Structure 1
Amino acid sequence: MYQPKDSSKSPRFTGVRTFMRLENIQTTENVDFVVVGVPFDTAASNRVGARYGPQHVRNFSVLLRPYNPDQEINIFDYCSGVDYGDIDIVPGNVHRTYHNMVEGLRPILADDVTPIIIGGDHSISLGNLRAFHEKYGPISLVHFDAHGDTWDNYYGEKYMHGTPFRRAVEEGLLDVDHSIQVGMRGPLYGPEDIEDARDLGFEVIPMSEARKLGQEEVLKRIHKRVGDDRPVFVSFDIDFVDPAYAPGTGTPEVAGPTSHEALEYVRGLKGLNTVGFDLVEVLPAFDHGEITAALASAVAFEMITLVALKKKSLTAPVTETVK
């Protein structure tokens, strides 16, 4: 079993920075999840620098410990994981980057390992979904974001960080009838910026509606929309969270969830058949006091916890140790 170094015996400031101090090894043997970086940001429309997001999140994640008190589980009693490293992206070339992503994720998914993918800008989700489509066919999507990312183009370009989910629908990658977007807010060019996503087939819960419904009801609607058995991919843009709690991002929007509420949304996905995650748009240059990195690493921790909870529901605790 692969698990983090014990920071009560080995100081956190020692060693190579990996997520949660996991082993840095490209393997799927005896592994239930892998953390994968995709440091691509040249499809961003405003601030750039999310290419440094994976290393920024990894750097802060050394503070994480294996027991999740809110979910009452020690992750590594039930699953094993490694930091798989980064996909070899091609700066400025999103299409070659997508090719590399599919090639890099294919062996992970072939062995039924769950990837937790850290970006990078949100354009990377299209590459992720292409890889998952190879494995699962059309997949359900749970999307947390301040923006729908279903625009047709930016500056005439079809492959930007605001377009991945329109392209995913066009390519037949999504089971859109069982997909949902939550958190959209902020000034728009027109009502079509929300309605286009609905016209594509998504259920959309803007942040103003989510506030009126309450978090518990929103989570019920997510579970109802997706169902318990369908494979689902979770995409979490850090700008889903209010910039008071996550300033380090490229297109912040006020009036979003608190850090506590954001974590509760992820925890509330327990019971879904989640087979993959991405966490995107962390931009270190604007991350005052590393508070965005603190939240992002916690979100990824909750994603890994969902893997452990799913494994717990199926198996007995892991006892084998891999040296």
Structure 2
Amino acid sequence: MSYSELAASMFSFWRTLTIPRAASGTAADLFFLSRQTSVLYPNRKCSGKKYNVPPSAEFVARVSGIPTMAKLPFQETADGLDAAFIGVPIDTGTSNRPGARFGPRQIRVESAMLRSYNSGTRAAPYESLMVADIGDVNVNVYDLKDTCKRIREAYRKILATGCIPLTMGGDHTIAYPILQAVAEKHGPVGLIHVDAHADTSDVVLGEKIGHGTPFRRCVEEGLLDCKRVVQIGLRGSGYSPDSYEWSRAQGFRVVQAEECWFKSLAPVMAEVRGQMGGGPVYLSFDIDALDPGFAPGTGTPEIAGLTPIQGVEIIRGCRGLNLVGCDLVEVSPPYDTTGNTALTGANLLFEMLCVLPKMKYY
């Protein structure tokens, strides 16, 4: 069969596909079906069960369909999943420009550009893991403390299934309740924190919970293995001559942005892998770690930041670690009408998926 004949056949298949009913009685996603060809639907090698695979834009237009992350199937729970994309749409903890509550939605829209394989690393995430988009946490936009409780409870349920959450933020406050749930399951975890800001303030405007305080709260509650914490990309003006003194006093490794200028971060990540060892690790990536020339759609931008290339190097440098969760936060679409900040965020989340444990590489 020629390529044109194959393409016509596959296009006809997608056009005539019938959507079944899920066991719960709700409409199942059309891509959560029994598969007919191994090219479109790779098998699990042991059980013969099929993986979820996004439709190819060669046969299904990117602009069609209801947006989910990477056009994956939507599923209401994490049951049966190895990894799941989940949104936490809040900006109640934001100190400057709001709008991060719209981040998950815009990331999903821009993620339509994503394809099935990582051309740089040759990772094959949809031949390795069962993945779906499980929607958003039902946050309380009027009450940040209640929102944190809702996040913590939602992630307890996700983690109880054995699923690794890949979170779309939302402001950085969300890392605190997520890590509460993660530490309940795994004990104190290592942390790779990529950000322009340390987020270790104690009290801001009389409040102890906000997007500038999550990792202070995490240390106080024993959620982090402080000897296995690294903060990369920190920069900007501060309230004291050494804005990162507290971090270093806890045992964190601090890699300021100035140490990253004009160089590859692959050597740094080799050292970080040694620091993290074989224990559980959480990756938290604030989009403002990148220079605002690349990612202007964020609430607290700082000049002279990382490049997208360095961001990708950091994530790819996590390959081989025991990652138990990841987040990409602080995308604020109103401040980038091009959508490029959300597009960058979507690609960084895909890179995170591609370094999870049990990943197959060609």
The alignment status of 1:290 with 2:339, answered yes or no, reads yes
Question: Bigger shift: 244-253 or 207-216?
Answer: 207-216
8 Å contact from structure 2 (residues 78, 134) kept in 1:
no
Structure 2 length-normalised TM? 0.83
What is the match of residue 90 of structure 2? 40
Q: Which of residues 334, 345, 348 is equivalent to 1:299?
A: 348
Post-superposition shift, 1:213?
Answer: 7.3
Q: Tell me the distance in 1 between the aligned counterparts of 2:260 and 2:70.
A: 32
Amino acid paired to 2:130: S
Which structure would you say has the larger RCO, counting Cα contacts within 8 Å and 6 or more residues apart?
1
Question: Bigger shift: 84-93 or 208-217?
Answer: 208-217
Q: Which runs of 4+ in 1 moved over 4 A?
A: none
8 Å contact from structure 1 (residues 2, 31) kept in 2:
no
8 Å contact from structure 1 (residues 151, 193) kept in 2:
no
Amino acid paired to 1:181: Q
Amino acid paired to 1:34: A
Q: Which of residues 305, 321, 340 is equivalent to 1:272?
A: 321
- The count of corresponding residues between Structure 1 and Structure 2 is 312
Structure 1 length-normalised TM? 0.93
What is the match of residue 218 of structure 2? 168
Larger radius of gyration: 2
8 Å contact from structure 1 (residues 38, 117) kept in 2:
yes
Amino acid paired to 2:359: K
Post-superposition shift, 1:202?
Answer: 1.2
Q: Which of residues 75, 79, 95 is equivalent to 2:125?
A: 75
| SS in structure 2 of the partner of residue 176 of structure 1 | strand
The alignment status of 1:99 with 2:149, answered yes or no, reads yes
Question: Bigger shift: 20-29 or 278-287?
Answer: 20-29
CA separation of 1:212/1:16 partners in 2, compared to 1, >3 Å: closer, same or farther? closer
- Percent identity reads 41
Post-superposition shift, 1:212?
Answer: 7.7
8 Å contact from structure 1 (residues 210, 218) kept in 2:
no
Q: Tell me the distance in 1 between the aligned counterparts of 2:276 and 2:245.
A: 20
Gaps of 5+ in 1: 318-323
Gaps of 5+ in 2: 1-50
Question: Bigger shift: 203-212 or 277-286?
Answer: 203-212
1:1-323 matched pairs, under 5 angstroms: 1-211=51-261, 214-227=264-277, 229-307=278-356, 310-312=357-359
8 Å contact from structure 2 (residues 52, 131) kept in 1:
yes
Amino acid paired to 1:295: T
Q: Tell me the distance in 1 between the aligned counterparts of 2:280 and 2:348.
A: 20
Amino acid paired to 1:104: A
8 Å contact from structure 1 (residues 247, 288) kept in 2:
no
